[in-house]
Structure 1
Amino acid sequence: MPPQKATTSLAPEISIIIPVYNDAAHIGKSVEALMNFIQSENLNAEVLIINDGGRDATAKIVEEKLKKYQAIRFINRAKNLGKGASVREGIAASSGAAIIFTDADLPYGTKHFKEMIKLLRSGRTDLVIANRHLWSTWQVDQFGISAVRRFTHWGFGLLVRNLLRLEFSDTQAGLKGMSHKAAEAILPKLNINGFAFDLELLVEAEKAGLKIQEVPVILENAGQSNIKIARDSLRMLIDIIKIWLSY
């Protein structure tokens, strides 16, 4: 299904992209939180929700929100392709000069959006990435995260730094922002459909000479993840090798 167009008279300045997959448990609450943020900050913004072939009640919930809020646009894809494919589709359909994408459960809330939007509007940076591991947020962020996930993340980070030469201490936090101009420059070069999309995005951004800035974030919601450690770790490894080979 193509995205439902917002009926605002002016093109939105901000696009917030939310990829979803069987997220009925929290998408309704997340939409309300996003709309509260947009209204409280008096933003001209759109929210693009991309359903990645999920089979639960997510689509029904979003369709109800479409009736309530003109700022929401919905892409309801029948086939499951992956988070990366969803974010790319959302970026391609977006209209805002600044683009933010985050996870369906809003793991870092909306409080960091304002800073990210300010940075992107300033023109001092092209890409803003959340970092859970800066010293001021590290200990708080560990609450509720299993030892297995922490160990997996540590090993993953080691591989990324050595193979892809990315020096960022946190590449996978589910909150990033970029200017539309930057998105247009690198979107045609992005091909990874899965969770390694973030890595490909950063690699291509560095290759393009884009300015990247990290912002410290604190985890607010360590909800149920759609990531299956064994299966998705293998897929991530394969995708990392693909990115490395095209480096």
Structure 2
Amino acid sequence: MTLTDRTGTHPDPSGALGAVAVQPVHRPGTAIDLAALNGAGVPLLDVTVPVYNEEKDLETCVRRLDDYLAIQFPHTYRITIADNASTDATLRVAERLARELEHVRTVHLDEKGRGNALRRVWLASDAPILAYMDVDLSTDLNALAPLVAPLVSGHSDLAIGTRLARSSRVVRGPKREFVSRSYNLLLHSLMGARFSDAQCGFKAIRADVAQQLLPHTLDKAWFFDTELLVLAERCGLRCAEVPVDWTDDPNSKVDIVRTAAEDLRGMVRLTSDMARGRIPLAQLQAALARGPLPAGERAAEAGRRQSLLGQLVRFGAIGAASTLAYAALFLLGRVFMDAQTANFVALLLTAITNTAANRRFTFGVLGSARLARHHAEGLIVFGIGWALTAGALFWMTSIPTPGQWIELTVLTLANLAATAVKFLLFRLWVFRRRA
């Protein structure tokens, strides 16, 4: 791998760009010391432009970006062209730009993928603020300074451009509009995401935060953005959103259908990784937590501000799985128990797992804070459900010799009737967000 700057091409001594040491120049959550940066000769902002076979448009776009930053941007900067294994003359054009323009460098990677490029370049950068934008510059560059400002002040940890704000001005076809809004709706409903626009190619992150999050990202392509944002939200980090003016590139090489399918697979994989503990959220939260809440409290509160629709979808899915589990356990218990005992045991076992699943996935409560209390209150909710089903069983005693399937049907209906009460108690009492 090689790094190219204005003086030419030089070998990367590490042999792996991701292994280059980074010297942080500020503490998380604090304003960046601009004077110290200038004294050290380190740029405040490193803008990465991932490219693949962009020999025709690369020079025009990079020169336009460099001109804008030199004239309009109030801080020091660097532009990093990340060539993702291009097969045309893109790398030659990028290396020539690095020789001719003072603030441009080129990184060549032997593997395709936007996520792969951003992860490798960002982990190697010495700048305290890292950003990226698409090579077509679809986003109006006047949004760049507002994107970076909350990161410089320490107000936010990440910043994203959004095309879905009411004040955004967007020019694109109905197909892309539909796919974008549908994808974000799925993120909000199924993963509890709160950011409005996952795939806008206009984002920035503080380098100290990136150093913590990037090693836990796996996607090498387009889902990388979503993966990074979801992890940041689950860790309780603050994300600023900037409305942008955006014009669709009619010559875009992005395959919308294939990208959408890959993103859906990424959602499934990321959900599984977090559920199985591959991503150590608790450790990440402890390392990144800051602000008025102690680390444990901040971890427990992370991810709670979720939409009612999203909560209902996840609660319903967990409830359906719990109902099936309850039915199986009840039928198994009836082999050697009476109906009341089998009902109590099946309800108790499913209630414990149901509370744990809703705590984590429906209401986004992470960490161990108030864990015992939540389960104790969940058992009270279980008691209400048991009272309803036990009452249904008592009512069935008036029916001469009811069969097991009649018992199961009546109990299932009683469970469904208790579901609405359970959701309200979970939302308004057990997992109510504390001020």
Shared fold (TM-score greater than 0.5)? yes
Structure-2 residue corresponding to 1:84: 115
Alignment-mate amino acid for residue 11 of structure 1: V
Q: Deviations over 1:88-121 (max 9, x none)?
A: 1121121211111111111113211111222211
For residues 69 and 96 of structure 1, what CA distance do their matches in structure 2 show? 18
Q: Is the 8 A contact 2:156 2:240 kept in 1?
A: yes
Structure-1 residue corresponding to 2:317: none
Question: Following TM superposition, by how much is the alpha carbon of 1:164 offset from its aligned partner in structure 2, in angstroms?
Answer: 1.5
The answer to whether 1:28 aligns with 2:59 is yes
Q: Is the 8 A contact 1:85 1:192 kept in 2?
A: yes
Task: Say which is worse superposed, 7-16 or 96-105, in terms of deviation.
Answer: 7-16
The answer to whether 1:51 aligns with 2:83 is yes
Could you tell me which of 176, 183, 186 is aligned with 1:149? 176
Q: Is the 8 A contact 1:16 1:45 kept in 2?
A: yes
The aligned runs of 1:120-159 (5 Å cut-off) are 120-137=151-168, 140-141=169-170, 143=171, 145-159=172-186
Structure-1 residue corresponding to 2:273: 246
Question: Following TM superposition, by how much is the alpha carbon of 1:215 offset from its aligned partner in structure 2, in angstroms?
Answer: 0.6
Distance 1:94 1:6, change over 3 A: farther
For residues 184 and 160 of structure 1, what CA distance do their matches in structure 2 show? 25
Q: Tell me, what secondary structure is at the counterpart of 2:253?
A: coil
Q: Which runs of 5+ in 1 are unaligned?
A: none
Structure-2 residue corresponding to 1:166: 193
For residues 55 and 143 of structure 2, what CA distance do their matches in structure 1 show? 24
Q: Tell me, what secondary structure is at the counterpart of 2:3?
A: coil
Question: Following TM superposition, by how much is the alpha carbon of 1:226 offset from its aligned partner in structure 2, in angstroms?
Answer: 2.2
Structure-2 residue corresponding to 1:225: 252
Q: Deviations over 1:194-217 (max 9, x none)?
A: 111111011111122211110100
Higher helix share: 2
Task: Say which is worse superposed, 198-207 or 152-161, in terms of deviation.
Answer: 152-161
After superposition, the CA RMSD in angstroms is 1.9
Q: Is the 8 A contact 2:157 2:209 kept in 1?
A: yes
For residues 209 and 153 of structure 2, what CA distance do their matches in structure 1 show? 14
For residues 164 and 194 of structure 2, what CA distance do their matches in structure 1 show? 13
Distance 1:88 1:223, change over 3 A: farther
Question: Following TM superposition, by how much is the alpha carbon of 1:62 offset from its aligned partner in structure 2, in angstroms?
Answer: 0.9
Q: Whose RCO is larger (CA < 8 A, sep 6+)?
A: 1
Q: Deviations over 1:9-61 (max 9, x none)?
A: 71222111111111223211121122112211353211111111121221121
Question: Following TM superposition, by how much is the alpha carbon of 1:5 offset from its aligned partner in structure 2, in angstroms?
Answer: 4.7
Q: Which runs of 5+ in 2 are unaligned?
A: 8-37, 275-435
Q: Sequence identity of aligned pairs in percent?
A: 26
Structure-2 residue corresponding to 1:187: 214
The answer to whether 1:18 aligns with 2:49 is yes
Structure-2 residue corresponding to 1:4: 4
Task: Say which is worse superposed, 112-121 or 70-79, in terms of deviation.
Answer: 70-79
Distance 1:6 1:245, change over 3 A: farther
Alignment-mate amino acid for residue 234 of structure 1: A
The structure 1 segments of at least 4 consecutive aligned residues displaced by more than 4 Å after TM superposition are 5-9
**What is the TM-score when the length of structure 2 is the normalising length?**
0.53
For residues 160 and 6 of structure 2, what CA distance do their matches in structure 1 show? 27
Q: Is the 8 A contact 2:58 2:135 kept in 1?
A: yes
Distance 1:42 1:154, change over 3 A: closer
Q: Is the 8 A contact 1:105 1:221 kept in 2?
A: no
**What is the TM-score when the length of structure 1 is the normalising length?**
0.91
Q: Tell me, what secondary structure is at the counterpart of 1:176?
A: strand
For residues 201 and 133 of structure 1, what CA distance do their matches in structure 2 show? 19
The count of residues paired between Structure 1 and Structure 2 equals 242
For residues 155 and 6 of structure 2, what CA distance do their matches in structure 1 show? 29
For residues 126 and 42 of structure 1, what CA distance do their matches in structure 2 show? 20
Q: Is the 8 A contact 1:186 1:208 kept in 2?
A: no
For residues 223 and 99 of structure 1, what CA distance do their matches in structure 2 show? 28
Alignment-mate amino acid for residue 3 of structure 2: P
For residues 176 and 151 of structure 2, what CA distance do their matches in structure 1 show? 31
